[in-house]
Amino acid sequence: MSSVDDGQRQHHWCATMPVHHQMIASRPEYTIARAAIENATFQRKTVRAPRHQEVVTIPVVVHVVYREEEHNVSQEQIDSQLAVLNYDFRLTNADAASIPPVWQPLAADSKIEFLLATTDPRGGPTTGVVRQSTRKAEFGDDDGVKFAAKGGSDAWPADRYLNIWVCNLVPWLGYAQFPGGPAETDGVVVAYHAFGSTGTARAPYDLGRTATHEIGHWLNLRHIWGDDGDSCSGDDFVTDTPNQAGPNFGTPSFPTVTCGNAPNGDMFVNYMDYTEDRSMFMFTKGQSERMDACLAGPRSSFVPKVVLDSMWEGVSQEPTPA
């Protein structure tokens, strides 16, 4: 069992921004890469770059790092998480019917799917799952779980696989690395009790939405409130998500009004908020366009050339760091 109770965990939902700020402070090359990525994203938005019509499938490797058997999540639990990701990113999740009517026209099929890798980095067959026992009782947001030398599991090549680490992550539910960072730490980390929709997944984070949220970050989405505390001045760089004061927790009711955003209020049903899994239902069209920009740029190694060419049709290409 985690040492973090549900009340504490609400306010330690996601460590992506602390990790992002630490990297800005310590890695000048990351800051430069992030600026270039955002410039390219803005360029595509300005010229209304075409969306990809074909589904992009991303190979996934799940690193299960465990000390206690409870942390060693089952194949069934891993499969349940992949299923959730494919429902959520394709807008085929059954609970999409619960999106408030005013936002239903904004909900988007991102045309992104996820599949456990079938070929390992050396070209051999694989299940897409790496199981690594460890002497470490828990991991934090220092990326230790991503290195065998620190008790974790080394990343597979980040230009060919989405690395997901599942471990006893304390005190966070998960975190991700935005595109533009080092390949050896690129990917997503999820707590074993917030992963998938069966097994050790524990309510209220037992429907797999932590991984959906963190992979949103991996595809360059920001938190919906813009990470400005509660000042109403933050920006997630997406025009169809309402301005809101800060994260929502629990299961809000519609409308929840902040920052003068009446009558519809905060889009707390968005995967990039902090609500409980049963209250998250959607990405917006604007968020999907931003993910497209990521796939056209820093994550382009996952996109077949014919699809990539279509995504750049009519857009002048500027070099973007991988």
**What are the structural domain ranges in the chain?**
6-311
Is 184 noted as a catalytic residue in this protein?
Answer: no
> What local confidence, expressed as pLDDT, does residue 211 receive?
98
> What local confidence, expressed as pLDDT, does residue 12 receive?
85
The superfamily (CATH) of domain 6-311 is Collagenase (Catalytic Domain) (3.40.390.10)
- With a cut of 50, which residues of the chain have pLDDT below it? 1-10, 319-322
Q: What are phi and psi of 132, to 5 degrees?
A: -130, 115
DSSP-derived letter for residue 200 is T
Residue pair 40/297 in contact by the 8 Å Cβ criterion: yes
Q: What are phi and psi of 206, to 5 degrees?
A: -120, 20
Residue pair 301/322 in contact by the 8 Å Cβ criterion: yes
Q: CA-to-CA distance for 277 and 202, rounded, in angstroms?
A: 11
> pTM to 2 decimals?
0.95
DSSP-derived letter for residue 260 is T
Active-site annotation holder among 38, 70, 138, 214:
214
Q: What are phi and psi of 107, to 5 degrees?
A: -65, 140
Exposure string for 54-68, b = 16+ CB within 10 A, e = fewer:
eebebbbbbbbbbbe
> What local confidence, expressed as pLDDT, does residue 317 receive?
62
Q: CA-to-CA distance for 42 and 139, rounded, in angstroms?
A: 36
* CB atoms near residue 198 (< 10 Å): 16
> What local confidence, expressed as pLDDT, does residue 183 receive?
98
> What local confidence, expressed as pLDDT, does residue 4 receive?
38
